[in-house]
Amino acid sequence: MEWFPEIDSTNTYLRTHMGQDFPEGHVVVADYQSCGRGRWGATWQSSAGKSLLFSVLLRPSSGVLSQLAALFGVACRHALGCGSIKWPNDVWMGGRKVSGLLLEGGPNGVVLGVGLNVNQESGDFPPELKPLASSLFEETGRIWDREELLAGLLQSLEYHYERWTCDGFAWVRPLWERDALWMGEKVRAGTQMGRILGLSDDGGLLLETEQGPQCVQSGEVERLRPVLD
């Protein structure tokens, strides 16, 4: 494990150096990222020392990134013991996002990046993020020990990854569906609209649409509220 007080991005660092001798399971942690990255080219902002920001190098034998995405969402939710999973793998609490994952494949492996808002107070978030982002502190009212959390998360990620390596993906589905946000509710996901049925065999989002069941492989999920007169 390497732990940096500051870095541009733990994902960028591992992607740049993954061709070197790092073994599978190499972990890079940072107290602050100057250029943290999220999905869809978004930035991932952090206040120094208040989040968990880390990446893990993986070398899976088969390359279904969409399965790994759902698997690691389940693993993070399991380690936290609270919250709901918004497809594919954000953890939400109190109607806002506390954690997000970024999986990036490369020629020498896969980098899993985890961003978890831990001890931020609401004033630590920029105004545009306040309605969307929260932290464990904001949701539970207590300060969390970041090292203890990291140990729990790494243990859970390892357990779930090893089980996926041995047993495949089928067992992940009921666990994901048990803790999924907006199950049975109407959402827009990418270009599709429909009610969430659950997870497909490859980690996609299954929707009941007007054209019947459809599987969504990418896109942001938004809840559609009924229009009231």
By the criterion CB under 6 A, which residues form the site for ligand BTN?
A: 9-11, 33, 36-39, 42, 44, 53-55, 90, 100-102, 113-115
Measured from the CB atom, is 6 or 167 closer to ligand BTN?
Answer: 6
CB of 190 to ligand BTN, least distance (A): 16
Task: Return the number of the residue (128 or 210) whose C-beta is nearest ligand BTN.
Answer: 128
CB nearer to ligand BTN: give 132 or 171.
Answer: 132
d(CA 60, CA 55): 15
Q: Supply the minimum distance, in Å, between the C-beta of residue 185 and ligand BTN.
A: 21
Shortest reach from residue 104's CB to ligand BTN, in Å: 9
Q: Token match 């599978």: residue?
A: 24
Smallest gap, in angstroms, from Cβ of residue 129 to ligand BTN?
Answer: 12
Whole-number Cα distances in Å, 62 to 148, 160, 173: 31, 15, 18
Tokens encoding 101: 């994952």
* Residue 137 · residue 121 · CB < 8 Å: yes
State which residue, 110 or 214, has the beta carbon closest to ligand BTN.
110
